[in-house]
């Protein structure tokens, strides 16, 4: 079972990346990989997944990042994230545009390394079809919780 599950999940992820955006399990899996790429600061992966005019509006528009700014920040990232997970993901579609909404939990060490804390965000992520391939165009996050990790 495990031997077939991993290859099948890879195929689902590739299908989401090489086809127009669809509100399906493959796109939700690809979105999970986006979160993991942020955690690992995987710039190479994100360069292939983000639309050229990508934008991320952070908590209450305190910060806005475009594609180049996000990739630059991740290349310099020194914050140690222990996990980034999503849940309660819902898909909404219109034509080749899909908006995912859900809850993202980010666990990381405090800057002094003394303890770990968790931040939870409601997110909206907009996926669009660009030249026949699904790409992440826009993200908006809103912090809903911050506190010590359990």
Splitting the chain (150 residues) into consecutive groups of 10 residues, what average pLDDT does each group show? 47 54 95 94 95 94 93 84 90 96 90 82 97 96 87
Q: Which residues of 64-79 are buried (b: 16+ CB within 10 A; e: fewer)?
A: ebebeebbeebeeeee
pLDDT of residue 80: 66
pLDDT of residue 77: 80
pLDDT of residue 19: 82
pLDDT of residue 16: 44
pLDDT of residue 14: 43
Can you give the pTM of this predicted structure? 0.81
């Amino acid at each position: 079972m495990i031997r077939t599950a991993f290859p099948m999940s890879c195929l689902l992820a590739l299908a989401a990346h090489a086809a127009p955006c669809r509100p399906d399990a493959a796109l939700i899996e690809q979105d999970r990989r986006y979160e993991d790429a942020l955690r690992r600061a995987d710039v190479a992966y994100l360069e292939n997944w983000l639309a050229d005019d990508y934008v991320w509006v952070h908590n209450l528009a305190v910060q806005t990042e475009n594609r180049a700014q996000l990739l630059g920040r991740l290349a310099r990232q020194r914050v140690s994230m222990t996990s980034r997970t999503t849940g309660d993901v819902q898909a909404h579609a219109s034509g080749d545009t899909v908006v995912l909404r859900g809850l993202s939990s980010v666990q990381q060490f405090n800057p002094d390394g003394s303890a770990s804390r968790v931040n939870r965000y409601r997110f909206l992520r907009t996926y669009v079809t660009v030249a026949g391939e699904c790409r992440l165009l826009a993200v908006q996050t809103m912090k809903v919780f911050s506190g010590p990790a359990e």
